Amino acid sequence: MDKVFAGGRLKRLRQDRGMSQVDLARVLAISPSYLNQIEHDARPLTVTVLVRLTEVFGIDATFFAPQDSARQLAELREALPTRTGGGAVPVADLQELASSMPEVADAVIDLFRRHRQVAEHLETLTDSRTASPTSSPHELVRDFFYRRQNYFDTLDRAAEATAKQLGTRRGEVRRRLRDHLNEEHGIRVVQRSMDDPADTNELHRYQSAERTLYFSSHLQAGQQAFRMATQLAFLEAQPLIDDVLATEPWPDEQTRQLASIGLANHYAGAFILPYTPFFAAAERFRYDVELLADHFGVSYETIAHRLSTLQRPSLRGVPFIFVRVDRAGNISKRQSATSFHFSRSGGTCPLWNVYESFAAPGRVITQIAEMPDGQRYLWVARAMTRSRGGFGQPAKTFAIGLGCEIRQAGRLVYADGLNLDDRTQVMPIGPGCRTCDRPRCPQRAAPPIGRTLNIDEDRSTFVPYPLSIRS
């Protein structure tokens, strides 16, 4: 067993229960001085003490598992780029804050987010573009899913139970959903004709007065099933959705409604690809996305998104990061069950293989990438194009990326033939140029925040933004 230092969490747990160190030490059959050393991380938790703690407080031992604070650390570096008097805040200090006082770190990050929103609002007002805040409801909802590691147990289990109750099988999900909506809720499913004016603007529309769910003629079978399952969530799982929403203070009704749609979509994905059989297939196929897409008859993107949600406590899959990126570097979808950090200050890293995949649409490209904090990931990327059909119709091209920590990579078929320990195969990437600490990166598009540039009219460098050594 690795040494577990969890003094901060133990102290908060003790204080929440209203116990003194003497009281808890007596229950654990250890001395108060020994407990004091554990709470100050001078001594690790032993197996004996850990077992007693789980019995005394009725908690799972994973409560004291080492927390991966890489995500917090990256966000802290954005929130606290410099210290009073100049110079960057030492990484060691930020690491100490993230590991020892995660609640304080979260409070600092939240304060920075509010500060940024106010600054953006002020910038908007002074530009006289609009009087509404620029903080995006979509960003707030993404943060909500990000904090929950893209998994909602009650919704996931309810969707799986309903799918089992309806007797859905591979290849029959759409038909069973159509029949169930009609038989239990009196809802008709109608596909619009291509000459219907609404067909060019709407993927779907539910007319509650008519009890009719309209689909665009451009929706494929899997997309139709997903829309029907989402409608089923609003009809049968709304109380569960409301319970999840009640755990979060929403700034306005628009953001709450957007989160409600996201949770309904989570339910839909869990209905179409029920957790237990999907997890079993993912393990059997070693997370081969293309094989899974063929097996379940859904799209590559649907499989990749579902893989990023396999975090049921008793049946965990590989913790994935899921992204959908366009050629310009805009991330239109992002979910993560890991500590991987998406920067909000500037674009993403151009050395990331999701951009390389645009040069070879339809081909899966792998990459072993290392973040500035030393954490390594195996990334799998594939570019694809969607078109509504017809000559001259605009198409959407984007890349789907799936990443996992290198310690999980052996479970993936994509690791076959790769030497995961070979440092020469590792590509150094970063969360984004403005928050990346790689001073010698020739691809840097912007200087890092909080660092002083070394401007010298008598010399030039291969590095676009040379930094001062003192910064």
For the stretch 329-363, pLDDT in tens is 888 888 876 667 665 544 678 889 998 999 888 89
In sequence order, what are the residues at sequence separation of 6 or more whose Cβ sits closer than 8 angstroms to the Cβ of residue 393?
387
Domain 7-64, CATH among 1.10.260.40, 2.40.30.20, 3.40.50.720, 3.30.2350.10: 1.10.260.40
Helices marked H in 58-101: 70-79, 91-100
- Give tens-digit pLDDT for 261-270: 999 999 999 9
What's residue 132's pLDDT?
42
What's residue 335's pLDDT?
82
CATH 1.10.260.40 residue spans of the chain: 7-64
Dist CA 297 CA 225 (whole Å): 11
288 band by pLDDT with thresholds 50, 70 and 90 = very high
* Average pLDDT score, the chain: 83
242 band by pLDDT with thresholds 50, 70 and 90 = very high
- Give tens-digit pLDDT for 391-410: 566 678 899 999 999 999 99
Task: Check if the beta carbon of residue 402 is closer than 8 Å to that of residue 289.
Answer: yes
The strand pair at 311-312 and 212-215 is best described as unpaired
**What's the CATH number for 153-272?**
1.10.10
Dist CA 158 CA 240 (whole Å): 9
What's residue 128's pLDDT?
39
On whether the pTM is more than 0.85, the answer is no
CATH 1.10.10 residue spans of the chain: 153-272
Burial of 305 (0-12, 13-18, 19+ CB in 10 A): buried
Question: Is the pLDDT reported for residue 305 higher than 80?
Answer: yes
CA angle, 433 then 439 then 442, to 5°: 70
Question: Is the pLDDT reported for residue 183 higher than 50?
Answer: yes
Q: 20-29, long-range: CB within 8 Å, 24+ apart, which pairs?
A: 24/56, 27/52, 27/56, 28/52, 28/53, 28/56
Question: Is the pLDDT reported for residue 129 higher than 70?
Answer: no
What's residue 75's pLDDT?
79
